[in-house]
A = this chain, B = another copy of it.
């Protein structure tokens, strides 16, 4: 039902468990071989450790194979903003390709497994496999959408609306990946501090608002798993509009 973050990606991309999920675009055998030739190595990063350190340029690109991570930025005095969460299949490190100073950090939220690509292969992707280049752009545009959405949430929604939004959003992303169990629950590894940092709220107010939503029976977070008990009510509260699910690329 879920991808085990302790199992590294298989040696052959053809055996990749992610690729077997219906939410990812199929690739040709040729493209698959090319992707595998780009894959430098495999790497495990433990929960709480940096995948890309803030203010450091990473010479690598990654595909998140298993586990959750997040992109973030911090101000000089320590205030932190989480930009978006990364789930299996997400591509990491593209921003570093086009700027001299690394702009944000990436941290593992759970234990993670990563497929590692040398950044010098990025140009090879575009020049040798145009369709994969197109897909890289696709992934980039898709990540920008996530940030767009989060910006609207942080800029214009009240605390309860923000939390409703985040819960629905993450639940849906986990659902796509087949992580929903028979009880309608998904793994939910965020602490309330993560939620606060993603939503532009304080920890205390995040806790009070979460408890309020839970008390009126909209959702339940128990033992690191999230269930949405009143999806419609949450969607109404957040002004959430489901997007049609569409296959996305996987590099």
Contact = CB atoms under 8 A, between A and B. Distances in A.
Interface of A: 71, 73, 75-77, 79-81, 83, 94-95, 97-101, 103-104, 122-123, 126-127, 130-131, 133-134, 136-138, 140-145, 147-152, 154-157, 199-200, 239, 243-244, 246
A136 to B, nearest CB: 6
A69 to B, nearest CB: 16
A127 B134 CA distance: 9
Contacts of A147: 144, 147-148, 151
Copies in the complex: 2
Given A126-B133, A134-B123, A134-B133, A200 B154 contact: yes
Q: Is the interface of A mostly helix, strand, loop or mixed?
A: helix
Closest 4 CB pairs of A and B: A155-B200, A144-B144, A79-B156, A81-B155
Nearest to A153: B81
Contacts of A155: 81, 154, 199-200
Contacts of A154: 151, 154-155, 200
20 contacts: A75-B152, A76-B239, A79-B156, A81-B151, A81-B156, A95-B148, A97-B138, A99-B142, A99-B145, A99-B243, A99-B246, A100-B246, A126-B134, A126-B137, A130-B133, A133-B134, A147-B147, A151-B151, A154-B155, A155-B200
Given A73-B152, A98-B142, 7 more contacts: A75-B156, A75-B157, A94-B137, A94-B141, A122-B134, A150-B151, A154-B200
